[in-house]
Amino acid sequence: MSTFGRQCLSDWPLDPEIVYLNHGTVGVTPRRVLAAQQALRDEIERSPSRFMLRELSGVGFLPSGGAPRIRAAANEVAAFLGARGDDMVFVDNATSGVNAILRSLDLSAGDEILITDLVYGAVGNAADYVAGRHGAAVRRVELPCPITDPGQVVEAVGAALTPRTKIVIIDHITSESALILPVAAIADRCRAKGVAVLVDGAHAPGAIPLDIPSLGVDWYVGNLHKWCWSPRSCAILWVDPNRQATVKPLSISWGYGEGFVHEFDWNGTRDPTAALAAPEGIAAMREIGLDAIRRHNHALAWEGARFLCDRWGVRLVTPESMIGTMATLPLPEDMGSTRDESVALRAALLYEDRIEVQMHAWRGRLWTRISGQVYNDMRDVERLAEAVEARRAIEKR
């Protein structure tokens, strides 16, 4: 792929008839990376026991002069994220990584898990479940609306900390609202109070430059199958070395008792090829140019959001510094306000207008989140603008 925009769609398995402005939801994998994954599947099937039981992980590994396959992949991905491979393991997705951390916590009655009102829904559910089992509580911080400065988030979270707060879960990039949050500054505030920090970085790896250890957090989870171009499902869990002894995978298997890495590297028989192909996704991005990719994706999200606001007569108050590869903006107020209306509009755009884009209801109106990826350009955003305007005109009749 030498140029960006719809002209490079042939390098991706997407339906070219559909405008895909929703890379942030489940990601799309380049054909090149899918081919690498299939080659790994073929290699496994030629000698499954050798690959899975002797070469894949350090559990039952017979030395052959190199690292176990899963560790070699982990080392490459960790280096891309500024980390050591020994501090990082693969998990299926960010939500499963969050669950592993929360279920490993030693909580007592009266303890509190602190989250914000922008938390990803599944993560909020996991926090509620774990707190309920221990007689602990979940407190939700309502962040300012609108957020016009990252410092507002730091102050809101800092002010909500109490002696009962045991852990703060904070998004690096929020899901529906697509805001880059100041996790390092939040972690500083939490450390001063002796509170641990878990970062849900589902949208961060690949989308923005990332050096996980420098953030000063205790745990970090992030998807690779969104902005790192890996196959689904593939994510990472990074744990500070001082925390690793207490972290356990959701499935206890043959690595039990052998340490953080071994316990996560072998959870039983599963398809490991998404994780093993993850370095190919990073290699593809590097060949094109990480800075160029990020500049294109950011520019499309930022300029696309401003264009849509101008067309629809709505306001974008988010500062550019808090926008990465996605941007969220309100639809005109007369487009609706409920979840059912957001679901209906999203379905109509897909099945009738051939546009896939995220829609949701929040605070009494509908919002859309556009994603910018190398296969998108402003023509995609213009089609969305026209489709929404046409539907708005129909509703007014």
- pLDDT value for 62: 60
Cα 203 to chain center, whole Å? 3
Q: Are 372 and 298 in contact (CB under 8 A)?
A: yes
The residues spanned by each domain of the chain are 6-29+289-396, 38-284
Q: pLDDT of 354-386, one tens digit each?
A: 999 999 999 899 999 999 999 999 999 999 999
- pLDDT value for 64: 59
Cis amide linkage into residue 214, ω under 30° from 0: no
pLDDT more than 90, % of the chain: 89
- pLDDT value for 2: 47
Structure tokens, 197: 């920090």
61 pLDDT tier (thresholds 50, 70, 90):
low
| Bridge partner list, 362 | 365
397 pLDDT tier (thresholds 50, 70, 90):
low
- pLDDT value for 54: 86
Q: Are 225 and 218 in contact (CB under 8 A)?
A: no
Structure tokens, 124: 């909020």
Q: Encode burial over 330-357: b for 16+ CB neighbours within 10 A, e otherwise.
A: bbeeebbbeeebbeebbeebeeebebbb
Q: Are 34 and 13 in contact (CB under 8 A)?
A: yes
Q: How does DSSP classify residue 203?
A: T
Nearest Cα neighbor of 76 from 94, 64, 88, 91 is 88
Q: Are 279 and 206 in contact (CB under 8 A)?
A: no
6-29+289-396: CATH topology is Aspartate Aminotransferase, domain 1 (3.90.1150)
What contacts 58, CB < 8 A, 6 or more positions away?
68, 71, 258, 261, 262, 265, 266
Q: pLDDT of 302-354, one tens digit each?
A: 999 999 999 999 999 899 999 999 999 999 999 999 999 999 999 999 999 99
Q: Encode burial over 99-130: b for 16+ CB neighbours within 10 A, e otherwise.
A: bbbbebbebeeebbbbbbebbbebbbebbeeb
**What mean pLDDT is predicted for residues 58-83?**
85
Same fold, 6-29+289-396 and 38-284: no
**What mean pLDDT is predicted for residues 25-44?**
96
Instruction: Give the three-class secondary structure for 356.
Output: strand
CB atoms within 10 A of CB 321: 10
Q: How many residues in total does the chain contain?
A: 397
Helix (H) / strand (E) containing 255: none
- pLDDT value for 58: 82
> Between 65 and 29, whose confidence is greater?
29
CB atoms within 10 A of CB 271: 14
Question: DSSP per residue over 201-253, as a string?
Answer: -TT-BTTB---GGGG--SEEEEESTTTS-PPSS-EEEEE-GGGGGG---SS--
Burial grade of 49 (CB within 10 A; 0-12, 13-18, 19 or more): exposed
161 pLDDT tier (thresholds 50, 70, 90):
very high
CA atoms within 13 A on the CB side of 202: 29
What contacts 122, CB < 8 A, 6 or more positions away?
95
**What mean pLDDT is predicted for residues 99-107?**
96
CATH 1.20.1250.20 fits 38-284, yes or no: no
**What mean pLDDT is predicted for residues 223-229?**
97
Looking at every residue in the chain, the average pLDDT score rounds to 94
